[in-house]
Structure 1
Amino acid sequence: MTAEPPEGRPSEAERSLEVRWIFPGRLETAVTEWFGRFPIETESREDSYLLDPRIVGLSVKVRGGMALEVKRYDGSPGILEVADRARGHLESWQKWSFPFSPPAQYSGRQNGWRPVGKKRRISRFSLAGGQIVARAALPDHEPQCDVELTEVHTVGEDWWTLGFEASGPADLLASTLEATARLVFSHPLPGDADPDLDNSKSYQRWLSPHR
């Protein structure tokens, strides 16, 4: 895939701490109702992930045909555990976003790229009086955690994912994510999906299982 040189400057690097679970099949109504006890925003878009050539430690995608995002994996600080409710691999990332001007023939389906359709439900959490609460997004660099419940469609298959992404001061990332996870999982995830280590992985690891 080629594109015109981007206009403007890339964003500053954003640090995040993330955990994600990905499950096969269609998203059940019971799960959307479980998530709907928090205020949500909705968004539908198609992202395209670079799978070939493989670049160890990097995730590269075109986000909604509007931005080129590059994420660098900085390792795992350990396991998120919410007693009897969830276990997942914590992942540290740095992300840069570049303006993207696709050529007229761009479709997101060029060789080496995998298009992934997403219908996202997003709830945002932040600290208020020492407690994690659902609220509107805060200014940059404030401790917060976005939680997304997303329906995914790629190569004719349906999947869904539940992900947490904490941002803000580096020394508060872990505590913010863990407090948010305890609140979200204060009610167990309904249905047969088990948020365990086997289902915990990033989009890039899921799409390229052998990298």
Structure 2
Amino acid sequence: MFTTWEMRWFYPGIPPATVEDWFFGDRSGELLATPDEREDVYLYTTPVCEYLGIKLRQGKLEVKWRNAELGVIQFGQNWQAKLEKWVKWICDDPTATNMTPANVLNNGAWISVKKSRSQRMYKINIDTEIQLLPIQQPMDQACAVELTKLNINGNNWWTVAFEAFGEDVSTTDMLLPAAELIFKNYQGVDLQPQNSFAYPKWLSLVV
């Protein structure tokens, strides 16, 4: 079981130049390798269940459940987000041959989403003072920041997200300090709560 605290926004089209300049510009934190190119396959059912996500990713079945909605968070005047707590289970069975994208996409209940994800990873240093340290590999406790380009049914979308993870990690000691620091130089489109939700709701809007 894997627990995360998340804020995410979705917008149609491709990321504006101001957003890409903000994410890829010269600031704290190095990009983690090259963009991660992949195809995730989501189970889409009606009626829509916004608190449950089921998908196939790189040969693994992932089940994600929203444990709590923690309200709307605001930083400055440019952005607000719905903060959520999620729990994820991963099933990895290398002998399972029927749960592959090629097989399940023949069933109309499964939807393909192509992704190009760029990511930075941050960790709070609490030994001296609260600051963010760039790290180059996943850690037990950290906050991931991502900018991802999406394509679903030939339509382009993009998403920005913050995801804190680790045992005994709270939103106050990991996610919120990271977001506050990173957004100091943000001059992109306003990120608003009506565009802030997780993948299950986004799928209900675009499928």
What TM bracket, shorter-length normalisation?
0.7 to 0.9
Give percent identity, aligned residues only. Answer: 29
1:78 Cα offset (Å): 1.8
TM-score by length of 2: 0.84
1:34 Cα offset (Å): 1.2
The answer as to 2:45 corresponding to 1:52 is: yes
1:103 Cα offset (Å): 3.3
User: How many residues end up aligned between the 2 structures?
Assistant: 193
Amino acid at match of 2:158: W
In the aligned structure 1, how far is the partner of 2:100 from the partner of 2:201?
Answer: 28
In the aligned structure 2, how far is the partner of 1:208 from the partner of 1:170?
Answer: 32
Residues 32-71 of structure 1 aligned to structure 2 (within 5 Å): 32-37=20-25, 38-41=29-32, 42-52=35-45, 56=49, 57-64=51-58, 66-71=59-64
Which one of 79, 89, 110 corresponds to residue 96 of structure 1? 89
CA contact (8 A) 2:41 2:101 kept: no
SS, match of residue 77 in structure 1:
strand
Which one of 164, 167, 176 corresponds to residue 165 of structure 2? 167
CA contact (8 A) 1:167 1:173 kept: no
Which one of 44, 66, 71 corresponds to residue 78 of structure 1? 71
SS, match of residue 74 in structure 1:
strand
Name the structure 1 match of 2:190.
194
1:133 Cα offset (Å): 2.6
1:206 Cα offset (Å): 0.8
Name the structure 2 match of 1:136.
136
Gaps of at least 5 residues in structure 1 are 1-12
Gaps of at least 5 residues in structure 2 are none
RMSD between aligned alpha carbons?
2.2
TM-score by length of 1: 0.83
* Residues 114 and 196 of structure 1, relative CA distance in 2, 3 Å threshold: same
